[in-house]
Amino acid sequence: MAWPSGTKRVSFWSQSFTKSVLRQSRTSLSEALQQTNLYRRSSRVWKERGGDEYRYKERGGDEDRCKERGGDKDRCKERGGDEDRCKERGGDEDRCKERGEDEDRWKERGGDEDRCKERGGDEYRYKERGGDEDRCKERGGDKDRCKERGGDEDRCKERGGDEDRCKERGGDEDRCKERGGDKDRCKERGGDEDRCKERGGDEDRCKERGEDEDRWKERGGDEDRCKERGGDEYRYKERGGDEDRCKERGGDKDRCKERGGDEDRCKERGGDEDRCKERGGDEDRCKERGEDEYRYKERGGDEDRYKESSAFIVKVRTATAAPNH
């Protein structure tokens, strides 16, 4: 029987070549493969990793990254078969079958998902609005950020309240529960507040324009900082009543009554006033030196340095000699 031209010869030649190669020793085959791999590694970058191809044969044969990891394909067969990243995590696919049955980010709305399986919950970010969620399961609550506006929340459960930032405007809040008040920043304008409760007053910044207040009531009533220090007021009532710093030091006023009454620093030193009565009465530094005044009475009375100076002698001589003219 006549064969078409070249058909039998090619077929016979290929079979003969295959048989001749298979008859070679196993050692020579391994050496040839090693030499081929070395040649491929030196010739092309994508041959460096020991597989069949790097990025080129991804769509038809075995691929280096997926062989290294235990799957069948890396990015090429992502739309039909097993994939390396999903095999590592316990699912069926990562990005390949994203629109099919088992999937990484799309199936998060209804089935098992790789990140949530690792953490013990059902879903990661998508089912946060309807079912259990991985972060909230880890923390003991029902929802992380999704159900913050209606139910229990993970951060507030950790702290003892009902909500963290969502229910700040209507219910109990985590930070204020920790401190003993009702609200932290939400009810600052209507109820009790955490910082003022700590200090003994009614409010810090919330009822700033109401009855009991931190900085505004400083002009007429009790104030939190001054209560801590023993006086009635801190900075505003310094001009009319007792003051906290001056009470601590033993005088009546710190900076307010410096121009009319006793003062704390001068009381500590033995005189009547420090800087205020320097223009008319006894002064602490000059009392320490034995004279009546320090700097202000230099021009009219006795003074320690002025007495010692030659200017005083000249002035005395001039004043004494003036009536004789």
For 34-64, write each residue's pLDDT tens digit. 555 544 444 444 444 444 444 444 444 444 4
pLDDT at 35: 54
Determine the pLDDT at residue 291.
43
23 inside domain: no
Q: What is the pLDDT of residue 29?
A: 56
One domain for residues 315 and 277: yes
- CA distance linking residue 108 with residue 98, whole number of Å: 11
288 and 325 housed in the same domain: yes
Same domain? For 245 and 264 the reply is no
pLDDT of the residue at 114: 46
Distance CA 177, CA 324 (A): 87
Gap between the Cα atoms of 93 and 74, Å rounded? 10
**235 and 273 co-located in one domain:** no
Q: Splitting the chain (325 residues) into consecutive groups of 10 residues, what average pLDDT does each group show?
A: 49 57 55 54 42 42 44 41 42 40 41 43 40 42 40 42 40 42 40 41 40 41 42 40 43 40 42 41 43 42 47 59 54
Decide which of 231, 249, 267 is a domain's last residue: 249
Burial status of residue 276 (CB atoms within 10 A of its CB: 0-12, 13-18, 19 or more): buried
pLDDT reported for residue 174: 44
Structural contact between residues 251 and 262, judged by C-beta atoms closer than 8 angstroms:
yes
Whole-number pLDDT of residue 2: 55
Predicted confidence at residue 251, as pLDDT, reads 39
pLDDT at 131: 40
Report the pLDDT value the prediction gives residue 21, as an integer from 0 to 100.
57
User: Residue 110: what pLDDT?
Assistant: 42
Domain assignment present for residue 264? The answer is yes
Please check whether residues 55 and 91 belong to one and the same domain: yes
CB 322 within 8 A of CB 305: no
Last residue of a domain, which of 197, 231, 249? 249
Instruction: Write down which residue in 249, 266, 296 finishes a domain.
Output: 249
Nearest residue to 16 (alpha-carbon basis) of 8, 5, 27: 8
pLDDT for res 44: 45
10 inside domain: no
Q: Using CA atoms, how far apart are residues 241 and 221, in angstroms rounded to an integer?
A: 11
98 and 50, same domain (yes or no): yes
Q: Residue 296's pLDDT is what?
A: 40
Paired strand residues for 123: 133
Q: Characterize 166-200 residue by residue with b for buried, 16 or more Cβ atoms within 10 angstroms of its Cβ, and e for exposed.
A: bbbeeebbbbbbeeebbbbbbbbeeebbbbbbeee
Q: 195 in a domain, yes or no?
A: no
Separation between Cα atoms, residue 292 and residue 278, nearest integer Å: 10
pLDDT score, position 277: 42
Q: How far apart are CA 265 and CA 273, in angstroms?
A: 7
Q: Would you say residue 52 lies in a domain?
A: yes
Decide if 83 is inside a domain. Answer: yes
Give the domain range for residue 78. Answer: 30-104
Residue 62 lies in a domain: yes
Q: What is the pLDDT of residue 28?
A: 61
How many separate domains does the chain show? 3
Q: Given this model, what pLDDT does residue 56 score?
A: 41
In a domain, 269, yes or no: yes
